[in-house]
Amino acid sequence: GVPLVSVVLATLGSVCVVFLGEVALGRIRAGALTLGPDGIRHRGWFVESYLPWVSVARLRAVHHGYPEMWVEGTETAAWARRRTSKIFRLESIPASPRIVVDSRRFDIDASLLYRVLELYVGRPDMRAELGTPDAATRVRSGDLAAPEKKDGSDGGHRHPVS
């Protein structure tokens, strides 16, 4: 018969070849978080998710031994999500409208990432700058204090960050 070691190595080799095929097809790749004027897009290794700003209810900081941020949607959120790989299911999709931001997966300080999310979740009037050099400069400089309106107020916006 065929030695057990050969069967085990052939199985492992097959899994590796299939995994590399999924990577080559772009179904598995490094993640990204994109804040745009229309909403938040999150690409994990195996899952994509989109939550429009109009559906964002709040931001929560969660700690599971590492910092994580949850951008939670309303119950009726227009939340789009999908698995990018049908074969490998190594990331879960939350049961409720939520974008889970695992700070370990991004090359940015977790506190700064939280402050960026906090600013744009809490200040809808500032979302128009997302995708512009102004927003990039704001994040790079760490200047995440919302500018005051000309009348000295914050525009009367509530800050739904908890």
pLDDT at 97: 95
d(CA 38, CA 142): 23
* DSSP secondary structure string for all residues of 89-153: --SPPPSSSEEEEEGGGSSS-HHHHHHHHHHHHH-GGGGGGTTSHHHHHHHHHT--SPPPPTTSS
Whether 159 has a pLDDT exceeding 60, the answer reads no
Q: Is the pLDDT reported for residue 152 higher than 70?
A: no
Q: What is the DSSP letter of 25?
A: T
Average pLDDT, the chain: 86
Confidence class for position 60, pLDDT limits 50, 70, 90: very high
pTM above 0.85, yes or no: no
pLDDT digits (tens, 9 = 90+) for 77-95: 999 998 888 888 778 888 8
Spatial contact of 59 and 97, defined as CB atoms under 8 Å apart: no
pLDDT in tens, 99-147: 999 888 888 899 999 999 999 999 999 999 999 999 999 988 988 876 6
Q: What is the DSSP string of 120-131?
A: HHH-GGGGGGTT
